[in-house]
Chains A and B, each alone.
Chain A
Amino acid sequence: MNFFLDIPPATFWNNPSGSNALMIRLALALLIGIAAIFVLLKAPTNYRRPIVGVVTFLSGAFYVMLYLWPVAISRNKGIDAPRNPVEGVAFWLDDAVPVVANFTSIVTAFLLGLGVYSLLRVHGRKVMRKETDWVFSVVLLSSMVLMVFAGYGDWYSRLDPIKAPALELRENWGPINYLRDVLFEGMLQQMDAAMFSLIAFYILSAAYRAFRVRTIEATILLAAAFIVMFSFMGSVEAAWGHMVNPSGNIDNFSNNFTLTEVAKWIRGSIQKPAIRGIDFGVGIGALAMGLRLWLSLDRTGGKS
């Protein structure tokens, strides 16, 4: 089964677009999927963990096989045929990579709606029951509806094969395009930036109130932070450099004591290995966690 030839030949897996055969198969596939959900809902409690475990294992096994199975190198896709079963599996794995990636993207995209659904549930309930601050929930839901309307309207207007290229220029925009631009670029992006920039105030306040050199560790941290911050300040770098190496000749021994060189040395000889050590520790943990997840060795997997 190859989903990705230019114009695929007719097989069991595909039907001409708009044909009755395709509509029937789509309906059947949906019914089978929904039936599978109902069957799973009836599954006994002690079957649940194994079901999740098997699904997780089979998913992980694909990439493990991909990495451990001999690779078909110099393969001419669509022309070469596998010479033996080993090559046959290699070809199948190679063809399946984009399919698996595509399926993963699609399932992830469906799951992105979870957050939106949760917001709709919580705020919808607030409005229906007129709970505290329900007016703000109306504001949220109205903004959401307006953005959906403007977003789809703008997207739909760009589907027109004749008008679409002209819409690259703002002069050719219609009201819906302007509305989307105001909501997305004019408001959403600016508010996103504002929310993240609020942390600057809190960092300043927290550093002022809590950053105290009471211990050796705090002193080292403060000194390192100051050196890094000074190294980001070009005027300080230039002034320090002029003081230490007035001629500016990089071959002078004193050039080693300019802020640029000191910061570069600290970055290369101490900061890099320190963070690399943390990274190695995290990496070992990630490898262990990956193995545990793949084999469902975590404690709570599958239990309600």
Chain B
Amino acid sequence: MSTKPRSEMSLGEKMQSVPKPILYLVLVLLTSLPLFKELNVPNKPNEASEDFYATVMAVPEGSTILIQSDWTGSTRGESGGEFESLMRILMRRKIKFAVYAAGDPQAPQVVKDSISRVNDERKLSGQPGYKQWDDWISLGNLPNAEAANQAIANNVQTAFPGRKAIPSTGGSPQDVFDSPVLKGHTKLSDFPLLVVVTASNTATIAIERYAGKVKMAQMVTGVMGPETLNYYPKQVVGLVVGLKGVYDIETLMEGGINTADPHTIKDDNGKFQGKSVEGFPGELNKGKATRYYPTLHFAFALLIIAVLIGNIGMFLAKKEAGK
């Protein structure tokens, strides 16, 4: 990088040395101003997100699923949106869930706060909130993911020995496997689905240990996306990756999936070929992803333009030096 004063720099050199504070200020402006305007961006959900949505929507109402949630505030921009979308779908379909963490000690409290936010949202629209013990249960944190996942794969009940919670009506703490959420669930195969929401390699640790024992879907951050995509669709039946993935889910919650072709002959289940899954029209489906996604375009555009300016500057500087 040139150390000459700016007035003596060639155009190419100037283009390569925009001061950092200017870059940062532009980034802050481009990631702040669009948040105040509701911008509609067209979206075509990708296959992995569609499969995730279809899988969760196929879980029978009233059944219990298992959730492994290992994210904390550090990735709340993506993981928070993923988890809250999942909560909205589960609560609307009256699906119970048991949630545990396999790594971060902060994760269980983050989950409770997140569920509390979605509950507040539901109460504002006149719907009942989810109660601990009756509708969902926290199974705490198991610090060693490898051993924990292995134990859960062996037998869910014995993996959480002596775990107790206070019933929603009060009273002494009771075994969580006596709760309406977990009664009769002892093995992984008793759960129709296991969802892993994570920002770390606990996604792959879960795949290694739960292989073939339970249907698994995952919600991961952008960084884990390319690696986790390798496991889709054989080992992970549905995958939500990053902000784009959350926006896909919010889009699908609004409009559902309808690729079913009525000109085809119905299959053995009485359905036309293609997929047809309901959405939740008229309900609050747009979460933070709908607010953040348009702003992401501006941030990307800034990065692309910055890289292009830097490279054009390099070529110009080379040309000028050659003269």
Q: Give the interface of A toward B (CB within 8 A).
A: 3-4, 63, 94, 97-98, 100-102, 104-105, 108-109, 112, 158, 161-162, 164-165, 168, 170, 184-185, 188-193, 195-197, 200-201, 203-205, 207-209, 211-214, 222, 226, 229, 232-238, 260, 264, 267, 271-272, 275-276, 279
Q: What's the Cα separation between A232 and B296 when bound, in Å?
A: 9
Known contacts A164-B166, A189-B73, then 15 further A-B pairs from the complex at CB < 8 Å, ordered by chain A residue = A98-B161, A101-B148, A161-B166, A168-B131, A188-B106, A200-B27, A201-B24, A208-B310, A211-B307, A232-B244, A232-B296, A260-B44, A264-B47, A271-B229, A276-B230
Does B35 have its Cβ within 8 Å of any Cβ on chain A? no
Contact B307 A238 (CB under 8 A): no
**Chain A interface, DSSP helix/strand/loop, else mixed:** helix
Cross-chain pairs A/B with CB under 8 angstroms, 11 sampled:
A97-B151, A101-B150, A104-B146, A161-B170, A196-B75, A197-B77, A211-B307, A222-B307, A232-B300, A234-B42, A275-B226
Does B277 have its Cβ within 8 Å of any Cβ on chain A? no
Contacts A101-B159, A189-B110; A279 near B230 (Cβ below 8 A): yes
Cβ distance A232 to chain B, nearest Cβ, rounded Å: 5
Q: What's the Cα separation between A102 and B300 when bound, in Å?
A: 45
Closest to A167 in B: B166
Contacts A98-B161, A189-B110, A232-B296; A208 near B168 (Cβ below 8 A): no
In chain B between 57 and 74, which residues have their CB closer than 8 angstroms to a CB of chain A?
Answer: 72-74
Contact A279 B110 (CB under 8 A): no
Residues of B contacting A165 with CB < 8 Å?
Answer: 166-170
> What total of A-B pairs shows CB separation below 8 Å?
165
**Which residue of B1, B41, B147 contacts A209 across the interface (Cβ within 8 Å)?**
B1
In chain B between 146 and 170, which residues have their CB closer than 8 angstroms to a CB of chain A?
Answer: 146-148, 150-151, 154-155, 158-159, 161, 166-170
**Which residue of B41, B226, B304 contacts A226 across the interface (Cβ within 8 Å)?**
B304
Q: What's the Cα separation between A189 and B30 when bound, in Å?
A: 24
Does B211 have its Cβ within 8 Å of any Cβ on chain A? no
Residues of B contacting A161 with CB < 8 Å?
Answer: 166, 170-173
Q: What's the Cα separation between A209 and B170 when bound, in Å?
A: 60
For B308-322 the 0/1 string (1 means CB < 8 A from A) is 011100100000000
Closest to A111 in B: B143
**Which residue of A94, A105, A191 contacts B143 across the interface (Cβ within 8 Å)?**
A105
Residues of B contacting A168 with CB < 8 Å?
Answer: 116, 131-132
Cβ distance A264 to chain B, nearest Cβ, rounded Å: 8
Cβ distance B18 to chain A, nearest Cβ, rounded Å: 7
**Which residue of A105, A208, A213, A238 contacts B147 across the interface (Cβ within 8 Å)?**
A105
Contact B154 A94 (CB under 8 A): yes
Does B237 have its Cβ within 8 Å of any Cβ on chain A? no
Cβ distance A139 to chain B, nearest Cβ, rounded Å: 20
Contacts A204-B23, A208-B23; A105 near B74 (Cβ below 8 A): no
B interface residue count range (under 10 / 10 to 19 / 20 to 34 / 35 or more): 35 or more
Does B260 have its Cβ within 8 Å of any Cβ on chain A? no
Contact B306 A208 (CB under 8 A): yes
**Which residue of A112, A185, A204 contacts B105 across the interface (Cβ within 8 Å)?**
A112
Residues of A contacting B247 with CB < 8 Å?
Answer: 234
Closest to A102 in B: B161
Q: What's the Cα separation between A213 and B314 when bound, in Å?
A: 9
Give the residue among B44, B106, B302 with the most A Cβ atoms within 10 A.
B44
**Which residue of B72, B167, B300 contacts A229 across the interface (Cβ within 8 Å)?**
B300
Does B43 have its Cβ within 8 Å of any Cβ on chain A? yes
Residues of B contacting A213 with CB < 8 Å?
Answer: 311
Contact B148 A233 (CB under 8 A): no
Q: What's the Cα separation between A272 and B106 when bound, in Å?
A: 33
Contacts A4-B161, A212-B311; A98 near B151 (Cβ below 8 A): yes
Closest to B73 in A: A189
For B34-53 the 0/1 string (1 means CB < 8 A from A) is 00000001111011000000
Residues of B contacting A63 with CB < 8 Å?
Answer: 150
Contact B44 A234 (CB under 8 A): yes
Closest to A228 in B: B226
**Which residue of B110, B142, B296, B303 contacts A204 across the interface (Cβ within 8 Å)?**
B303
Q: What's the Cα separation between A260 and B248 when bound, in Å?
A: 14
Cβ distance B291 to chain A, nearest Cβ, rounded Å: 14
Does B293 have its Cβ within 8 Å of any Cβ on chain A? yes
Closest to B162 in A: A4
Residues of A contacting B183 with CB < 8 Å?
Answer: none
**Which residue of A105, A190, A192, A212 contacts B310 across the interface (Cβ within 8 Å)?**
A212
Q: What's the Cα separation between A108 and B145 when bound, in Å?
A: 10
Does B144 have its Cβ within 8 Å of any Cβ on chain A? yes
Cβ distance A259 to chain B, nearest Cβ, rounded Å: 10
Q: What's the Cα separation between A232 and B168 when bound, in Å?
A: 43
Q: What's the Cα separation between A211 and B308 when bound, in Å?
A: 9
Contacts A101-B147, A212-B314, A235-B41; A193 near B73 (Cβ below 8 A): yes
